[in-house]
Structure 1
Amino acid sequence: MIEGYFDGLCEPKNPGGIATYGYYIKTDHNNIEGFGLAAEPWSSDATNNVAEYTGLLCLLTKLRELKIEEVLIYGDSQLVINQLNGIYKIKSHRLVKLFDQINQVIKTFKRIEIKWIPREMNKKADHLTRVAYKLALEGKLKKVGCN
């Protein structure tokens, strides 16, 4: 089964910093990476949780573009994983829209599992969030959303 990993960050402060995401898809033939801005920098929407949710949404969107129907998704955000699996309720209004978008995309997969992993096992996606952050600081990353 194809594996996908996602991550998000918001630095130098959370909330209100620069929120970026990264994802990594491990296939039999090659690996696919993606990263970008999750929200307008320095805005109230720039949070770590928005970045994590955006990373997952962009990963799922890319998997759909690739016509992958069965996938195992990993992320190190206990909040996101537990909210999607119905263990935690969503209290943040800014996350509800992302949560709903993700659930719509999830319904299109034949088989999907979303599991939590420790940060140490999510190094590649974490690295991609930091690449995006560096590019945003340099003014080279301006488009918000999935790339």
Structure 2
Amino acid sequence: MNEDFLWQAWCDGCARPNPGHIGLGAILLGPQGGRHELSERSPHTGCNNEAEARALLATLRLARALGAAHLQVQCDSDVVVRLAQDAEATEAARLAPLFAEIRQLAAEFSRLELRWLPQHRNTAADQLARAALGLPPRAPAKPARRRR
């Protein structure tokens, strides 16, 4: 990918309760360093997987509106990363139309790379998704205690 034109994004979604109201969060960094944030409450209700998928869809829409052609998106949902790239997947059949919409929008980019990352490395997008529902930031995970 030509790094000169690469946009980077981190997205996250949350559902409270689960299933329940959906919050969407995303951060986009433009090739010249411009930062754009998304924090909004979805009009839909659903489970965490739907929230994550809707956050990815909102991120792709925002990126297109900002003129991004080459985009790398980080998402902490392995389910969303897999299903967004696999039109033949049958898990989460209820969400198939949503994933079809994601794949259709993804095809509008010259290049799109979707990557999974651990939840603890996606805290800024998580905070934006939670803020959209009026929730405080998630407490930092406590380090695991080592057994002797």
TM range (shorter): 0.7 to 0.9
Unaligned runs of 5+ in 2: 1-5, 136-148
Match of 1:37 in 2: 41
Query: What's the CA shift string for 1:11-64, capped at 9, x where partnerless?
Result: 2x212x222111110122321001222344xxxx42111111111001100111
Paired residue total: 129
Match of 1:14 in 2: 18
CA distance in 1, matches of 2:88, 2:13: 19
Q: Identify if the C-alpha distance between structure 1 residues 106 and 14 changes in structure 2 by more than 3 Å, giving closer, same or farther.
A: same
Unaligned runs of 5+ in 1: 136-147
**Structure with the bigger percentage of strand:** 2
- Backbone CA RMSD of aligned residues: 1.9
Percent of aligned pairs with the same residue?
29
Per-residue deviation, 1:87: 9.5
Contact 2:87 2:100 in 1 (8 A): no
The reply to whether residue 24 of structure 1 matches residue 27 of structure 2 is: yes
- Bigger Rg over Cα: 2
The reply to whether residue 86 of structure 1 matches residue 86 of structure 2 is: yes
The reply to whether residue 107 of structure 1 matches residue 110 of structure 2 is: no
Match of 2:74 in 1: 74
What is the SS of the residue equivalent to 2:15? Answer: strand
Query: What's the CA shift string for 1:99-131, capped at 9, x where partnerless?
Result: 011111111110110000001111111010111
Normalising to structure 1: TM-score of the pair? 0.80
Q: Identify if the C-alpha distance between structure 1 residues 47 and 107 changes in structure 2 by more than 3 Å, giving closer, same or farther.
A: same
